[in-house]
Structure 1
């Protein structure tokens, strides 16, 4: 019955296509001729679906593919009012299929709704051209890529997410068939080592299908990196037949000069189209670069770049010519000589270039591509460009129909490019932020951002930091040996899991990264030290095994029990011991477990044996610096020992090689990182906190983009040239990017209706603190003498119940604004964008009648109270500013902030009474106020009190504001900018609401 049912359902669902309709009728029609007696009842379907996994899961996969496509459809005509990827959309699908409760429940279990975020798009208005119908009509290479991803084990959700994100890019390119010349420039922002290549491979597939006939991928600054990208495109997109170009794979003589065949064990896994695509009425792809050869002056002459026209009297971009012409694809280094050769060859065929739809994809577009020339040194006749930037500019000038798409995980250098320089690579048309893909380990997986738990309450089960992060230690407490032991143990656990069926394929590579310095001499010394430690570690001795057993029992065993209970794990170290011996042998093979990676030449990298695609097994400890911090993917990275400082946020994030995908061994990942390292002779920093700060910078940037991505009256709230002011930094010494890449822009206003405003950069000068406290004094005097209770109720299991008491007051907007407008800050102007918004809430946007001022009281023994300039006794709150920071990481308590947000949401009607407390009207804001004393423990707080009175010089009057949701104008716009733009000769350009 299972095969019969699969055939019937396949036929029925194929018939439905993009439009869910009564399934029972289509299934009966599909069964009518060949299977008239088939049991098509929903009860039988539920039985078959429950047993499907044991038979290979084909029925489940079929329904997953179709349901996921319907779940992801954007504004489909059959359900325009439901949001994609929601339970409401799935219900709408079931309703149109007219299936019963039993079948719905069975499908929900087998194919849960993927409530995953979509890509965030900030873009100019564009003319829609890449319709669903057009994309479906020409989709040869995209469909081949989809099949490849399924064969590799990608889930339907992951494929649908990639389909959606790559479509968001392609639809904002220029229609390759249109007569008018137009270049679009955009930027796609992913995460470090998050699979950006998959996205631009999807974009390339769809762009080729749509009609782009020249694709140039700028892939890295080393042959090794370029070759990795070339192989990926060859394997997953271009395919065997295009690589062979008619050669017989069984005829050795005909294979001379053709890469992969015979020397790449994965050749059978390269996508196969069956025959040359042109035979199937598609089009062939000619590679102008190979795995081994970067772009050179073409061996076969300039004819390789000539495009034949079926209709000579029509331009190439005419559909009659375009879709019959072969495409050219090349992957080139960002290298001056290589790009000069390419530009020289293109100049020789200038006649056709004006008709040629081309796509330039710039991988790691913030590296080398950005112009770092100082504008102050430019001549009057125009911009001066750094080498690679200038050559990219020439390339785009030569190809007037070229579209430029940059890819990066650290976008700040790109968004700071001068938007007034039309020949530069500023993403003037679109900026797309990709969501983290399923299974990805990023910065959030190593930090407990905004965790309400105190350090003592954190466990392996509820704390990312406790699970994955270890201090490197200092001096005699240096934990490098422990990190090496962790490397051996994690390797042993991988081998154990491989023997017990996880993953389906054995763990191919296993690596450890040690990164302490950028100096090559330091690398040599460190490698020698590690090699000596390895040979003295005694891994075959009783003492060595005792050390490994102790680390396993105190670290790896409890972490795996909490985080990977569903994976095979040994019950004792004795069970693991044989695998530690095997891991030691693999790591130490060749007599040296260490590989130094710090060269500058391709020849150097060729000698290392670190081609993870070609090398069967790399089990090594890698020592290096800058060369390991961008582009170079360290496969199988499990243990990192890191203690290098830097002053640039994008550089810091790119050094996070421990980010990425860790299937089957996520729980084994360990980061040994410096907690206190010297930045200068007088300043010490916490590297782990620095990563957390940069993570917050990145998250805030993405959150801001998401907030402003929604269209208002069908038009974008912001365009890419208004993005630079959305870039923030949480640490004063970690800039978003290097100074020579930063463009000057100023944020004038941030409107935050219904959202928290929590400034953190308060003054450190005692006199300024005292003056700020005096400014708050009139409002503190209005606080009630009797506390009131606030409660957070349990709702849908989302949060545990909690309550607190607080002193409150009702204050006018004018009174609050009178205080806020006079406050002093550590950095001038830091609060000005918020203040500019609050100043308008007196009737021009929407009236804010009043604010509920809340001064939370701490509970029990934690409470230390004091009067502040004659106020009723208030609970003093302790917060700390870590070394090098002018700001606090968090002000409001998690419970306090959630309750305050709940009051606002309840007043707006968007909540169903999840909190209890004083009534808040729809035109009332909530203000949390905290008298903060800096200190490490309660004794510091008590030291700020004399005779029950707090010293105003020791107080930071910190606050969190949540305006009512009604506090926004009819336009719905949230931001206003002031941006310096070279098109206006350095004057401020104000984009008003």
Structure 2
């Protein structure tokens, strides 16, 4: 599409979107295809010249796609301490920067997303202080988004509104590398400044919002530019004079010691207008400051030790680490300031000590004022959808192509040194699995070209080593393979066998994969399939367009998307750390990822493949190791657990300082880097409010038999059971298969747990420790009486009944997720409804009410499109522990729920389990509790708020 055609398309799209919004409001119904046709017909008369330049069918498709999008609800924990409410409709009148940014975004995102952006930025801005408020004030908060979900767009909107409101100095801390800083500057040139900040240019051309509003008098000032060396420097600083009457100033700077020291020096010597008579500190009292900290978990967190003394008081002489110290010092020189951290991985931020403060640098960056959790739009594809969560299994992950170790390790071992030379079967070439991934990218580019997306960017990511010398060897091998493909298809030399194998691969693997992805993940889009003949016709052109680029600290290659806007860049990007965090790969289709970082936040941030893939999600593929699939699945669960706890606390009206977070630990993964966890002590653990389920089992027959016999003894001792359908309340339409025992003494459950052998790799489920915890809770008369359920599979054609303890039950089938030599691992054990076993009707309804209240309609959390129709586990446990006065439900902390299952050893597909006894699995649901009882476990980490004893909400 030419630039003029694109302009016409965007212009019509923007107008049509606004007309459809009004039409839908008038009709009080969702947008229909008939509405779209009607409004486009009106526009075709009004905008006849523009319509002559565009494809009407493409317009219809885009409007249908946009009309089907929804956005979930955000959630905010906030503190009203020293805060004056100020943001209302009257205050927002006449705001210029937001108005033009909103108009600029109309053509780029669905109106539902634009409305959500307006709401979210209002929510965050309202938590900050009115910049016109006199006196000293300080607000610090955190916005938690999803990886690659549009955080830059969100904080650009926030900056526009903050500037409209009267914030005069806006500093954006944009990553650790020049290319990421420059990328952020370009985005802010387009969304806020309205002009391209080209170094040493006589005239700065209008871009983005500057093309909508050409009024030069409202142009903000830019202290930095979009060139690679455009960061804040002393030459620029010498020319800058700032006064309160001027328009706002924007600084886009790296988190770099030299740069931040320059900025701090300039603030002290050129901007400060007052000296604190008590401390002698130079202060800026006339200019309100807003600091946006992008990727605030990276580089900004103080990793120094002993920020508080043994009594929990701040050590005022503590020396924070460099970047943290400089960010805090910049804030400390302003009497009126706001700090907003943005991250998708808040694991490090929640470990910042909430009482950390020094005389010289002021308070630490703990988000004491607010934490806002942004919901994802319905077209966002994140960890929960790519890797599944506790509610979906690996078989449901059509985007992922798991690689067995022998498909990549002979070429790229997990541990190798700088200078290593990768070889495949003794030759200097890519492994077969990487060759397959490259062909997958070629098919993706071909399909996109045939769909009319040929002028859009398409990228492939290859991330297999952190060493630049090894990356260089990979670049050469990839370039040689692409050169070979191109040579054969453009010259027709030795093509027959290659073409036959690619035709088979496309027809039997790639095309069915596209259909599976559409079925599982794509909504509101009609994505076309193409025959091999169609693909074959465009292959020579596609291969000719593909470029291989090395992206690291030493390579000169850059991802020059902006320079290829008209034709679309087709690039295979090979790199390490620079590709790992922050840098956006436009149109990312294919990823080949072997990096083995072992920290939740680092791994999650490496997920460049998360984000929005409208029009081409079905051609996207991720090639990664089976172990990484397992790790990412665990991270998705950890992130969801964190969000669920957050939701419960929002419902309870808690503040960030009361928000003591517990983050899952993993046998191989650490939550975040050890340095960032210095304020996270190995805690005295409580399981209150938790669901524990066994998902890792031994694969030795002796161990399986020992657990089966322990369960046999336990059930025999329980005596007669009732039918599992004989519960206090069974919702209409539910039917159960199994047995139920009530009022089982705690001692029986404790004895069973001490008898049962959990696998050493089970990082969270350790039977003896759980038994210790129940014993501890018994001292407060909690968990003294148990409900035990033996739960079988619903009846079906593949029924397999087995007896245990004299009770017959239909065995469950659970396939293993990942091959391990020493164990049998599954994704998830229980069905969501199982935790509601034996609730009274009042309890069930109260838990359902809380589940609906905390439902956020967040696509990536696999919550479903409609509010839940049955209660969710975290809310059940909360209701049982806290009660619900409105529903007349009292707390039932004396009761625990133990759920037992038999897994069919044949269904596991594990060679070692053939002819073994049934695999006994169990889950325990603990009601929440305020008890101080704990058991020691260094595998669970808590932030300072929790171990400081400040949190009355966490159970």
TM-score range (shorter-chain normalised) is: 0.7 to 0.9
CA offset digits 1:283-310 (Å, max 9, x no partner): x52111222363445657667342145x
CA offset digits 1:897-941 (Å, max 9, x no partner): 3874998688537779999xxxx9977875422256888448866
Contact conserved, 1:648 with 1:738, CA < 8 A, in 2?
Answer: yes
Contact conserved, 1:760 with 1:890, CA < 8 A, in 2?
Answer: no
In the TM superposition, residue 672 of structure 1 has moved relative to its aligned partner by: 1.3
Local SS of the residue matching 1:610: coil
> Higher mean Cα deviation, 471-480 or 359-368?
471-480
Say if 2:837 is the partner of 1:908: no
What is residue 229 of structure 1 aligned with on the other side?
184
Give the distance between the partners of 1:769 and 1:881, measured in 2 at CA: 22
1:276 pairs with one of 194, 213, 216: 216
Give the distance between the partners of 1:46 and 1:767, measured in 2 at CA: 60
Contact conserved, 1:446 with 1:469, CA < 8 A, in 2?
Answer: no
Give the distance between the partners of 1:669 and 1:867, measured in 2 at CA: 47
Say if 2:391 is the partner of 1:436: no
In the TM superposition, residue 688 of structure 1 has moved relative to its aligned partner by: 1.5
**Structure 1 pair 848–687 and aligned structure 2 pair: CA distance change class (3 A):** same
What is residue 315 of structure 1 aligned with on the other side?
none
In the TM superposition, residue 737 of structure 1 has moved relative to its aligned partner by: 0.7
What is residue 216 of structure 1 aligned with on the other side?
171
**Structure 1 pair 569–47 and aligned structure 2 pair: CA distance change class (3 A):** closer
**Structure 1 pair 897–884 and aligned structure 2 pair: CA distance change class (3 A):** farther
> Higher mean Cα deviation, 773-782 or 196-205?
773-782
What is residue 518 of structure 1 aligned with on the other side?
466
Say if 2:862 is the partner of 1:928: no
Say if 2:312 is the partner of 1:387: no
What is residue 577 of structure 1 aligned with on the other side?
536
Q: Which residues in structure 2 correspond to 1:470-509 (within 5 Å)? A: 470-471=402-403, 473-474=407-408, 478-498=432-452, 506-509=454-457
Unpaired segments ≥5 residues, structure 1: 1-6, 15-19, 24-40, 60-108, 245-253, 262-266, 279-283, 310-324, 588-592, 676-685, 970-976
Say if 2:267 is the partner of 1:350: no
Give the distance between the partners of 1:138 and 1:830, measured in 2 at CA: 61
In the TM superposition, residue 196 of structure 1 has moved relative to its aligned partner by: 0.5
Give the distance between the partners of 1:776 and 1:260, measured in 2 at CA: 79
In the TM superposition, residue 786 of structure 1 has moved relative to its aligned partner by: 7.5
Say if 2:561 is the partner of 1:612: yes
What is residue 293 of structure 2 aligned with on the other side?
362
**Structure 1 pair 850–740 and aligned structure 2 pair: CA distance change class (3 A):** closer
Contact conserved, 1:813 with 1:849, CA < 8 A, in 2?
Answer: yes
What is residue 480 of structure 2 aligned with on the other side?
532
**Structure 1 pair 621–166 and aligned structure 2 pair: CA distance change class (3 A):** same
What is residue 160 of structure 1 aligned with on the other side?
115
Local SS of the residue matching 1:307: coil
In the TM superposition, residue 536 of structure 1 has moved relative to its aligned partner by: 3.2
Contact conserved, 2:478 with 2:548, CA < 8 A, in 1?
Answer: yes
**Structure 1 pair 138–840 and aligned structure 2 pair: CA distance change class (3 A):** farther
Q: Which residues in structure 2 correspond to 1:789-808 (within 5 Å)? A: 803-808=735-740
1:642 pairs with one of 568, 593, 598: 593
Give the distance between the partners of 1:426 and 1:289, measured in 2 at CA: 28
TM-score by length of 2: 0.73
Give the distance between the partners of 1:768 and 1:497, measured in 2 at CA: 54
What is residue 26 of structure 1 aligned with on the other side?
none
Give the distance between the partners of 1:546 and 1:269, measured in 2 at CA: 50
Give the distance between the partners of 1:733 and 1:690, measured in 2 at CA: 9
Give the distance between the partners of 2:775 and 2:562, measured in 1 at CA: 55
Local SS of the residue matching 1:469: strand
Contact conserved, 1:789 with 1:803, CA < 8 A, in 2?
Answer: yes
Say if 2:674 is the partner of 1:739: yes
Give the distance between the partners of 1:787 and 1:580, measured in 2 at CA: 63
**Structure 1 pair 257–291 and aligned structure 2 pair: CA distance change class (3 A):** farther
Contact conserved, 1:757 with 1:960, CA < 8 A, in 2?
Answer: yes
Say if 2:80 is the partner of 1:55: no
Give the distance between the partners of 2:838 and 2:164, measured in 1 at CA: 48
Contact conserved, 2:100 with 2:209, CA < 8 A, in 1?
Answer: no
Give the distance between the partners of 1:794 and 1:851, measured in 2 at CA: 16
Say if 2:74 is the partner of 1:119: yes
In the TM superposition, residue 515 of structure 1 has moved relative to its aligned partner by: 1.5
CA offset digits 1:403-458 (Å, max 9, x no partner): 111111111111111222133222222222211234222122322434667x8xx6
What is residue 254 of structure 2 aligned with on the other side?
333
What is residue 63 of structure 1 aligned with on the other side?
none
1:191 pairs with one of 124, 127, 146: 146
In the TM superposition, residue 147 of structure 1 has moved relative to its aligned partner by: 0.8
Give the distance between the partners of 2:610 and 2:66, measured in 1 at CA: 28
**Structure 1 pair 380–398 and aligned structure 2 pair: CA distance change class (3 A):** closer
CA RMSD of aligned residues (A): 4.9
What is residue 401 of structure 2 aligned with on the other side?
469
Contact conserved, 1:637 with 1:658, CA < 8 A, in 2?
Answer: yes
What is residue 81 of structure 1 aligned with on the other side?
none
**Structure 1 pair 649–769 and aligned structure 2 pair: CA distance change class (3 A):** farther
In the TM superposition, residue 110 of structure 1 has moved relative to its aligned partner by: 12
Q: Which residues in structure 2 correspond to 1:700-779 (within 5 Å)? A: 700-710=641-651, 712=652, 716-717=653-654, 719-723=655-659, 725-729=661-665, 731-742=666-677, 743-745=679-681, 746=683, 749=686, 752=689, 757-760=691-694, 777=713
Contact conserved, 1:375 with 1:384, CA < 8 A, in 2?
Answer: no
What is residue 782 of structure 1 aligned with on the other side?
718
CA offset digits 1:647-706 (Å, max 9, x no partner): 11211111111112222111100111122xxxxxxxxxx122112111221122122212
Contact conserved, 1:852 with 1:926, CA < 8 A, in 2?
Answer: yes
What is residue 238 of structure 1 aligned with on the other side?
193
Q: Which residues in structure 2 correspond to 1:8-47 (within 5 Å)? A: none
Give the distance between the partners of 2:65 and 2:542, measured in 1 at CA: 38
Contact conserved, 1:751 with 1:837, CA < 8 A, in 2?
Answer: no
In the TM superposition, residue 769 of structure 1 has moved relative to its aligned partner by: 10
Say if 2:196 is the partner of 1:205: no
Say if 2:608 is the partner of 1:657: yes
TM-score by length of 1: 0.70
Give the distance between the partners of 1:833 and 1:706, measured in 2 at CA: 29
Contact conserved, 1:285 with 1:327, CA < 8 A, in 2?
Answer: yes
In the TM superposition, residue 962 of structure 1 has moved relative to its aligned partner by: 7.3
What is residue 84 of structure 1 aligned with on the other side?
none
In the TM superposition, residue 609 of structure 1 has moved relative to its aligned partner by: 3.6
Unpaired segments ≥5 residues, structure 2: 1-14, 46-63, 275-283, 358-362, 411-424, 426-430, 520-524, 850-867, 871-879, 881-887, 931-939
In the TM superposition, residue 214 of structure 1 has moved relative to its aligned partner by: 0.7
1:169 pairs with one of 112, 116, 124: 124
Contact conserved, 1:857 with 1:863, CA < 8 A, in 2?
Answer: no
What is residue 597 of structure 1 aligned with on the other side?
551
1:961 pairs with one of 909, 925, 928: 925
2:243 pairs with one of 300, 307, 310: 307
**Structure 1 pair 838–878 and aligned structure 2 pair: CA distance change class (3 A):** farther
Give the distance between the partners of 2:330 and 2:122, measured in 1 at CA: 25
